[in-house]
Amino acid sequence: MSDTYDYDLFVIGAGSGGVRAARLTALGGKRVAIAEEFRVGGTCVIRGCVPKKFMVMASEVSHALEIAEGYGWSFDNAQFDWPKFLEAKDVEIARLSGIYAANLGKAGVELVHGRAILKDAHTVAILDKSGAESRQITAEKILIATGGRPWKPESLPGIEHAITSEEAFHLPELPKRILIAGGGYIAVEFAGIFAGLGVETTLIYRGPNILRGFDDDVRAHLAGEIEKRGIKVILGCQHRSLEKTATGIVNHLENGMKLETDVVMFATGRIPYVADLGLSKAGVELNDEGAIKVDPYSKTTADNIWAIGDVTDRMNLTPVAIREAVAFHETVYRNNPQHFDYEAVATAVFSQPPVGVVGLTEAEARHSCSKGVDVYVTRFRPMKYAFTGSDERVLMKLVVDADTQRVVGVHIVGPDSPEMIQLAAIAVKAGLTKAQWDATCAVHPTMAEELVTLKEKQSQNTSAG
């Protein structure tokens, strides 16, 4: 430990990654401070995963009521109260943010309120809300964990009338009509949220099908299922402009369509939050995509500065940022060099129905498995919907390396798929074979039992060539 600096470690950004790294390092006996310009908890807790999941759960109730009616229940005049929900959500988010802050304190981390910018490789300035410099702090090592920010195409005429997910968490009233632009996680999740809450919802995406990068069967299946839930999906089309009128916002689309809605939300991606951080003064370089350039151990181009989480744009998921934080701590403070293994990380899209996936898509597997792949697919109506007249279907797909017989990809669209995929991920990560999956006795009657009873190959042992 060196007394040359105020702190051994200074962390910029108190989100999931930054908080974990700060706490571990302080608990290890180092002098640690962390700066946060907004609220402790970061994107995940304050304006991402957690409030989003509450919104999904609120929205799913309408579907649960429909199912319940099939089972003989009746609900007279069931109503949803948006302000009441927002209030409850905000109370819970404040509670969670408070726990994060308290845990920092318990670990001995100093929490610095304000925006931190780099003056040089060992010095940060803290800016107050007016942008004035309130303090200078020096640190032997610095960790940047500032996350990302929503991005929308600023050159699009009328884009100032569109919101992003950040504002969607605080809309003063529930709109009657919403249009969401984009086809990624956030677009699909929010389309489901608003549709479930009774909002007339349109999703517009420029590509041939939503969720680019996911397995093609998942993309096709989900697009069909969300349409069954009442979402109007417009594919292969973008905005030409947006126009504010007395009654709403008119979406002028490339295909000549004009569509008026009350709210327009752009979910067209997120970018690393590096603006005005002073990176160049500290010798920290960006890559071609504008993310902080790091080596496998999360070290930047400056010798004493590391970066983790969305600001490095590697795999933008909360649990990954946390693992990167742990690997940073082990490498830098415990003489145990570690880097996170990005293989077979399970992920869930909280659409309605949700998606859970782990491992390779069929197309990726055909590319990487030299002797081809065996593919097992089933589509079925969940038992739960038997009395509803619903024709909603679950999709389950296993992708198996034909040579080794290892299950290399699992793709599920349907109720509870995020819960199922967490467990399936253990088997994929462990490299278990299809025969080992099949040797596992089914739990009956469940949806998940299909995963261990899939017998018929959809496609045989053919490689991409």
Residues that bind ligand NDP (CB under 6 A): 153, 181-187, 189, 205-207, 212, 238, 267-270, 316-317, 347-350
- For residue 208, the minimal CB distance to ligand NDP (Å) is 9
Q: Is 444 a catalytic residue?
A: yes
- Cβ proximity to ligand NDP, 25 vs 59, nearer residue: 59
Separation of alpha carbons 91 and 423, rounded Å: 31
Nearest residue to ligand NDP, by Cβ distance, number only: 184
Phi, psi of 394 (to 5 degrees): -95, 145
Separation of alpha carbons 383 and 193, rounded Å: 24
Distances (CA, A) of 391 to 3, 274, 377, 387: 68, 47, 18, 11
Quickly tell me which residue has 């009328």 as its tokens: 158
Quickly tell me which residue has 């310009």 as its tokens: 37
- Cβ proximity to ligand NDP, 24 vs 291, nearer residue: 291
Non-local (6+) Cβ contacts of 192 within 8 A are: 56, 59, 226, 229, 231, 350, 351, 352
- Cβ proximity to ligand NDP, 18 vs 51, nearer residue: 51
Separation of alpha carbons 136 and 112, rounded Å: 11
Dihedral angle of Cα 232, 238, 240, 244, to the nearest 10 degrees = 40
**33 Rama sector, left if φ>0, alpha if ψ -120 to 50, beta otherwise:** beta
Separation of alpha carbons 18 and 334, rounded Å: 17
| Residue 308: closest CA among 170, 176, 155, 143 | 143
Q: Helical H runs in 334-399?
A: 362-368
HEC per residue, 73-126: CCCCCCCCCHHHHHHHHHHHHHHHHHHHHHHHHHHCCEEEECEEEEEECCEEEE
- For residue 36, the minimal CB distance to ligand NDP (Å) is 20
Q: Give the residue numbers annotated as catalytic, written as ranges.
A: 444
